[in-house]
Amino acid sequence: MSNTLIAPSVLAADFANLQRDIEMINNSDADWFHIDVMDGVFVPNISFGMPVIKAIAKHAKKPLDVHLMIVDPDRYIKTFAELGSNVLTVHYEACPHLHRTLQAIKAEGMQAGVALNPHTNVSLLEDTIQDIDLVCLMSVNPGFGGQSYIENTYNKVAQLKAMIKAKGASTRIEIDGGVTNKNAKQLVDAGADVLVAGSYVFGSENPTETVKGLKELVK
């Protein structure tokens, strides 16, 4: 029996009813809040910033899994720690000094995550995997919710899992983008530990039941 974590993406919530949707996550079988921060430079979209995250953090009763899709994330590590982030994930493609960035995240008491775009090979993490708490494999091109899952992600999960095992690391694998009941089980069988789901959860008629269904599926 696996203990796969489910992390609904707040990006797909109804911002006019944000507190309601936060309470949905609090009261559901979900494990984490997934929070997508986009700067309009690293990705062609802008999501939300500090005031909104502060408001989410005030009501959230589960860990905050913050996914930074921004250039130069080092500038904001301290701020995200102060906001109450538990996992802080930066993009491999945005970090020329990845090892230093990971140390800076941990020095602030957070778990350090690294996200890989669909075109970025997992082998590039061979020299840092022991320093990474979570690898977020993007199963869509980052920037938008509601896109279709990229099938090659299954191969990447398996390759990454083998690397983690070979290196004796305890890194978690998170999948982000296009996750539904159609691919969740196969992703977990391939080695995924955390599933992010945005539109599949919030676009459904009963988000609480949808989270419950996902959790059951990957038990």
Ligand X SMILES: O=C(CO)[C@@H](O)[C@H](O)COP(=O)(O)O
Please list the active-site residues.
36, 176
With H, G, I as helix, E, B as strand and everything else as coil, classify residue 128. coil
- Residue 23 backbone phi and psi in degrees, to 5: -65, -35
Give the CA distances from residue 14 to residues 118, 132, 147, 154, 193, in Å, rounded to whole numbers and listed in that order: 27, 32, 18, 30, 27
User: Which one, 84 or 127, has the nearer CB to Co ion?
Assistant: 84
- Exactly one of 125, 198, 211, 214 binds ligand X (CB under 6 A); which one? 198
Cβ proximity of 136 and 174 under 8 Å: yes
**Contact pattern for ligand X over residues 145 through 184, marking x by CB under 6 A:** xxx----------------------------xxxx-----
Least CB distance to Co ion at residue 174 (A):
9
Pairing of strands 172-176, 33-38: unpaired
Task: Copy the structure tokens of residue 19.
Answer: 């507190």
Binding site partner of 145, from Co ion, ligand X, none, Cβ cut-off 5-8 A by kind:
ligand X
Which stretch in 6-14, 21-29, 76-84, 159-167 sits in contact with ligand X by CB under 6 A?
6-14
Q: How far apart are CA 40 and CA 95, in angstroms?
A: 17
Would you say 47 is a known binding-site residue? no
Q: How far apart are CA 194 and CA 208, in angstroms?
A: 18
Would you say 9 is a known binding-site residue? yes
User: Which one, 31 or 176, has the nearer CB to Co ion?
Assistant: 176
Which stretch in 14-22, 51-59, 185-193, 194-202 sits in contact with ligand X by CB under 6 A?
194-202
202 C-beta neighbours (distance < 10 Å), count: 21
Would you say 40 is a known binding-site residue? no
Would you say 199 is a known binding-site residue? yes
Site residues for Co ion per CB under 5 A:
36, 67, 176
Would you say 49 is a known binding-site residue? no
Angle between helices 18-27 and 207-217 (to 10 degrees): 30
Residues near ligand X (CB under 6 A) are 9, 11-12, 34, 36, 67, 69, 140, 142-147, 176-179, 196-200
Binding site, residues? 9, 34, 36, 67, 143-146, 176-178, 198-199
